Amino acid sequence: MVASIVRTLQLNPTTLSPISRPLLFFSIPLQLRAVRRASVSMSYNRQLAAAKKAAALAACLCQKVQKALLQSDVQSKYDKTPVTVADYGSQAVVSYILEKELPSMSFSLVAEEDSEDLRKEEAQGMLKRITELVNETLASDGMADMMPLSEEDVLVAIDSGKSEGGPHGQHWVLDPIDGTKGFLRGDQYAIALALLDEGKVVLGVLACPNLPLAAVASHNQLISKDDVGCLFYAHVGTGTYMQSLDGSKSTKVHVSATENPEEASFFESFEAAHSMHDLSGLIAKKLGVKAPPVRIDSQAKYGALSRGDGAIYLRFPHKGYREKIWDHAAGYIVVAG
């Protein structure tokens, strides 16, 4: 193997925020996974089913918004309103579905958005649009017979993500749209949802609407709009699976088995503002990696890494940047399996 260790998330037990340090992910040997499976004694099947449904529906909402964005005039692509609508709508859908599907479980969601700005007078038009999108999305899943959510219902669902988390109990962690710049460009983004239990990531789902179902080894392969839309999911100790967003049969995936660094490829952030590309290049050179980096927005990188498209993910945030728990929790468990 290129390497045999995945750095686990180092969490602040009070805020569930990762400690800001360089992030390196390498392929995990299968024998280490076997040890992890042997230690698993708790099932999260109900939570996993709810998480998959929530992330897939949120992805449908985001796809509708992005499609409208890309069909609009060029100037509107510099307006962050579309991604804001999708961010709020995605969070409302995920929150609503999780609470509806898991009514007997205590609910705690640590998420990126809250409703403060949406409650302002000038945001009423946006709130109306978000509410319409949320109801359309829920109806598309056969919930047409339910009473439509009101604007206040949507605001409450968004604010369900205001939990502060903590080191005990179960807490969901959500990034409703990871990769906002990719979303605005019509490129890669992800809905990233994870479950923490007693401070450890035990379950994760990544919905990647624009990621090709086939392996990607260069940025050019990411541009194709044919056969795209992946849903990755993992439940600690059981491995990682991938299916298309339309609900096709799941396939178990594995990280790269590449042993020769010269044959390995590596992923890094598309935006240079998110990671020091020069440093990543130096490290890749030291490792003997010859292939150019594959730069991908969002946690879609983790999905691609989990199925062996590349062997290494290098991320070195610039000084002063602090990672958030929702930036990596789902991606981490998808790779670690």
Of 84, 87, 137, 187, catalytic = 87
Can you name the residues that pair with 11 across neighbouring β-strands? 18
Chain center to CA of 207: 6
Q: How far apart are CA 51 and CA 109, in angstroms?
A: 12
Helix (H, G, I), strand (E, B) or coil at 311: coil
- The verdict on whether 227 is a catalytic residue reads no
SS3 state of residue 174: strand
Residue 175, annotated as binding a ligand: yes
Q: Using an 8 Å Cβ cutoff, are 187 and 297 in contact?
A: yes
Distance between start and end Cα atoms, the chain: 17
- State the catalytic residue, choosing from 84, 131, 137, 180: 180
Q: Is 324 helix (H, G, I), strand (E, B) or coil?
A: coil
> Which residues sit opposite 26 in a β-bridge?
312
* Inter-CA distances, 54 with 3, 171, 250, Å: 34, 15, 17
280: its two tokens: 């990543």
151 carries a ligand binding annotation: no
The number of helix segments (H) and strand segments (E) in the chain equals 9, 11
Active site residue 14: no
User: How far, in Å, CA of 196 to CA of 62, rounded?
Assistant: 25
Q: Is 278 annotated as a binding residue?
A: no
Q: Is 52 helix (H, G, I), strand (E, B) or coil?
A: helix
Binding residues for Mg(2+): 112, 175, 177-178, 327
Binding residues: 112, 175, 177-178, 327
* Residues with a known catalytic role: 87, 180
